A and B are shown apart, each in its own frame.
Chain A
Amino acid sequence: MATTTLTRPGIGRLRPPKPPALLEAELPGGLRSVFVRHRPLPLVELRLAFPLAPAQIVKPAATNILCRSLFAGTEAHDRLALAEAIESLGGNLDAHLNDDRLVVVGSVLSEHLPTFLGLLAEVLTTAVYPEGEVRADRDRAADEIVLALSQPEVVAQQALRRRMFAGHPYATPLPSPGSLKRVNAAELRALHPALLYPAAAHLVLVGDLQVPRALGAAEDAFGGWLGQRGGQDSELAPAGAPRPGPLELVARPGSVQSNVRFGGEAASLADPNWPAMSLAGSVLGGMFTSRVTANLRERNGYSYSPRSSVRHRRAGSSVVLAADVASAVTSATVIEILYELGRLATTGITDDELELARRHAVGRFSFETATLPGLATTLASLAANGVSLGYLSGYPKAVISTTKDQVNEAAGRYLSPRRLVTVIVGDPEAVGGPLSVIDEVVVRNT
């Protein structure tokens, strides 16, 4: 085989992404909005986010059904006619629950934006929640929850949330099939105006649009809704850090793998420690070239995709380190993770790791905010977390100027083994014994 004599090219300059030009505006009724003309695809992406009150977070059955039945019919369209109208615009429109908010997610061919906004406004002002449709939606929701809970990663997520946020609304599990089947149409009709009102909401429109025209189209379309008054206290107590305690083993008899999860508190988006913490998380498990991936995947072959990630919520962000591993290497994996956490928190990172993590963070942010849905989701998340949109330019700059000492301090503060709690979903017969050699183990049934 021929050998080349070419030298390896350099990795190029590190340049923060150019933030898009955006317009923030408060529409009548207090609807906070942001409009971005971005990229020449003939599409517009929409987000409309509503904060959930604590009482709605702890009773997720009604909000879950509302997300479905919101589109089950208006005064002018039944469910099928509404779906046909949206699809004829090349559009889609759904509502999702996202930790502590309800988000309407939409996308449409840009030429049809005004009509699309009109349909959304119609839903917001005249959704009727027909009895028969609500009954069908709640039965289907119950079936889907049963399907979701058969997936071990969902069981692991639920268990970790319960463990990390004990006593806080964020600990609330997915609604049970029984609770979903008890939701009725009258409840949804009462919940709708209490939750979906303009003063608490954030609207994001990103894509092939003329900003002044889109703003005008939004004002025209939402006119009637913007006059609606709601009012609920959506204040949430801070979630705080999890209390240390024994390793929790969630029994899934017969499981051939264990879902290992370490979870803890993370710096919030607005916290000055966040850029340093994000870099510490990258070095630990947030990139492919991270310590945990090198150890668990490339050195030991224990896990296909070990990873750490951060989730931001308005009353408490969290970091999760996850590895799905064969039962036989479960306790070995816990030991390796504890080792990597302890090593990072006590001996810190190298100059090479700092440079790699900075460049990776800036690059990943560029890619995350380069697509229409990516940028729209980022903007909606910033707004919902009360963070200035200056973050789009501020975060990459802050990452570039973050020092090794700051990363090491953040690692010690957020990622030391003492700060994290451990939940494992697996077969107790196979993994319980070996795990109890390394830690106190509490077994829970799901």
Chain B
Amino acid sequence: MPSRRQRHRFERAVLPNGLKVLVVPDPADALVGVAVVYNVGWRSEPEGRTGFAHLFEHMMFQGSAHVGKVEHIRLVESAGGVMNGHTRADLTAYYEGLPPSALELALFLEADRMGQLAITEENLRNQVDVVKEEILVNVVNRPYGDFPWITLPELAFDRYPNAHNGYGDFSHLERATVAESEDFYSTYYVPANAVLTVVGACRPDDVFSLAERYFGPVPRRPAPNHGPWPEPRLSAERHRVVKDSRIPQPAFAIGYRTVDPIGDLGHYVVYHVLAEVLAGGESSRLTARLVHRDHSVTEVACLLGTFGNDDFLVRDPSLLQVIVFHPGSATTEALLQAIDEEIGRLASDGPTKAELGRIVASSSADVWRSLDSTLNRAHMVASVETIHGDAGLIDELAARISAVGAADVAAAATDLLGQYRAVLELQPVPG
């Protein structure tokens, strides 16, 4: 039986209109995954139109020249398929998982909405309502709903692309127009700004010829600017306290700046290892200290990226976030000091060999887990290709993590201690 333990087979082609096509065949897979990732996220949306990239993602399900409103989804479901889409800081992903016999249908559907989206006033107003409900359920009515993925970047960054709320202000969403949608579409949803990926039960030659048939007629247009929008590190510590009557317990998040995730990837991987050493598992430094020794914290997590699970799918500037929920038995200052102490210990002594060994084992297991589902594999491959220009990073990641040494981690810890950080603190107050 072929094994995914071996390196993936990446087969690539570029259509004359600039669309990158990437096929990762896997004869052991009974299903096929299709993803189209556009090189545009909420960092690209216009000022005064926060949330537009995500709203636009909704419009991509509202019909195109040969596909009626929501018919895309009906066809995928009736083919026995599953689908979804998501918007992040630097990309927007659309993906379907299907039985292999429905591959051609999926390519037709993706090509139709790439080439000839149909945007109507009625559908736009309907989706503005739906998106507002989405924000109500996920943020406004949910304690901690915007913490820290919306509120920490607002504090840690200054430039509009990096600092604004990617879910959107209601007033901005309500003012969105059909003309703006068409403009956004013709600027960003062009073949040269997209990656089409097909993974699983497929033959590369079949995929290339189907891709040419369905995506070939989409006209070539120039690829837009997709950032990055770098900005200097903070010149003074920022500490913002938000009083919130909906939350039962205090929490805080620290945002440290990392190096450039793309231009300095080799070094960025060290921050990934540092995040794992700090709070990657039950035996990690901050979990062992704050949760299991001091009993001062309910939960501590450490993430790379601006959203949460986008560590290798984000451009500069990125963050290393430490997120803490605690019952208030210790002060924020005391907890920050304990975190500083733990980072300080790493800066002076580095992690142990055993710690690094555990991180190599758990990180490589995590990479495998993320590739298990055909659907997730499709959008992950396309997303890495979009952000890094080479999905081969997926196969290299374990080796890159293994190559990180104790001195590298100590240097990254020193970098955290030496920089001004952003601390966002939530305090419960009576309603």
Contact residues of A with B, CB < 8 Å?
A: 1-4, 6, 8-15, 17-18, 39-43, 71, 79-80, 83-84, 86-92, 107-109, 133, 136, 139-140, 143-144, 146-147, 149-152, 253-257, 287-289, 294, 297-305, 324-326, 355-356, 359-360, 362-364, 366-367, 370-374
Contacts and interface: CB of A to CB of B under 8 A. Distances in A.
Contacts of A10: 105
A81 to B, nearest CB: 8
Nearest to A81: B283
A300 B210 CA distance: 37
27 contacts: A3-B116, A4-B217, A6-B108, A6-B214, A11-B78, A12-B98, A12-B99, A40-B3, A42-B368, A43-B368, A80-B288, A143-B298, A143-B327, A147-B249, A149-B248, A254-B431, A257-B136, A288-B73, A301-B130, A303-B130, A304-B133, A324-B141, A326-B132, A362-B80, A367-B82, A367-B373, A370-B31
Interface stretch (B313-321, B336-344, B358-366): B358-366
A367 B375 contact: yes
Contacts of A151: 142-143
Interface stretch (B62-70, B152-160, B252-260, B265-273): B62-70
A150 B364 contact: no
Given A84-B358, A87-B358, A367 B97 contact: yes
B7 interface: no
A142 to B, nearest CB: 9
A147 B298 contact: yes
B246 A370 contact: no
Given A146-B248, A257-B136, A325-B133, A87 B362 contact: yes
A40 B2 contact: yes
A246 to B, nearest CB: 24
B265 to A, nearest CB: 23
Choose among A108, A256, A289, A325 the residue with the greatest number of B CB atoms under 10 Å from its CB.
A289
B137 interface: yes
A13 B281 contact: no
B238 interface: no
Nearest to A149: B248
Contact of B283 (A18, A83, A107, A294): A83
B133 A355 contact: no
Most buried by A among B3, B67, B79: B79
B102 interface: yes
B180 interface: no
Contacts of A289: 70, 73-74, 77-78
Contact of A88 (B73, B354, B364, B371): B354
B394 interface: no
Contacts of B46: none
Nearest to A84: B283
Contacts of A300: 129
Contacts of A6: 108, 213-214, 217
A15 B65 CA distance: 30
B389 interface: no
A325 B73 CA distance: 22
Interface string B267-302: 000000000000001110000100110010011000
A218 B69 CA distance: 53
Contacts of A359: 77-80
A207 to B, nearest CB: 10
Interface residues of B, number: 88
Contacts of B357: 88
B298 A140 contact: yes
B28 interface: yes
Given A88-B361, A298-B126, A324-B133, A18 B104 contact: no
B184 interface: no
B311 to A, nearest CB: 18
B397 interface: no
Contacts of A107: 365, 369
Contacts of A254: 245, 431
A14 B80 contact: yes
Contacts of A133: 292
Given A305-B137, A359-B79, A8 B105 contact: yes
Contact of A87 (B126, B283, B327): B283
A88 B352 CA distance: 13
A1 B292 contact: no
Contacts of B134: 304-305
Given A1-B115, A4-B112, A92-B362, 7 more contacts: A3-B65, A86-B282, A140-B291, A254-B245, A257-B136, A301-B133, A304-B137
B257 to A, nearest CB: 28
Interface string B318-337: 00000001010000000000
A13 B358 contact: no
B80 A360 contact: yes
Nearest to A252: B141
B364 A109 contact: yes
B248 A147 contact: yes
State the 10 A-B residue pairs at the shortest beta-carbon distance, nearest first. A363-B80, A301-B129, A12-B101, A90-B365, A83-B282, A304-B134, A90-B361, A12-B102, A83-B283, A9-B104
Nearest to A4: B217
B39 interface: no
Contacts of A304: 130-131, 133-134, 136-138
A87 B298 CA distance: 21
A246 B345 CA distance: 61
A146 B79 contact: no
B358 A88 contact: yes
Nearest to B125: A301
A84 B358 CA distance: 7
Contacts of A372: 372
Contacts of B31: 366-367, 370
Contact of B133 (A140, A326, A363): A326
B115 A366 contact: no
Interface in B140-196: 140-143
Contact of B82 (A11, A146, A364): A364
A287 B97 contact: no
Interface string B230-256: 000000000000000111110000000
A299 to B, nearest CB: 8
A12 to B, nearest CB: 3
Given A9-B108, A147-B325, A151-B142, A91 B80 contact: no
Contact of B361 (A14, A89, A294, A366): A89
B4 interface: yes
A294 B131 CA distance: 15
Contacts of A305: 134, 137
B105 A11 contact: yes
A257 B298 contact: no
A303 B70 CA distance: 16
Contact of B281 (A92, A139, A253, A374): A92
B13 interface: no
B403 interface: no
B105 A12 contact: yes
Contacts of A364: 80, 82
B5 to A, nearest CB: 5
Contacts of B128: 301
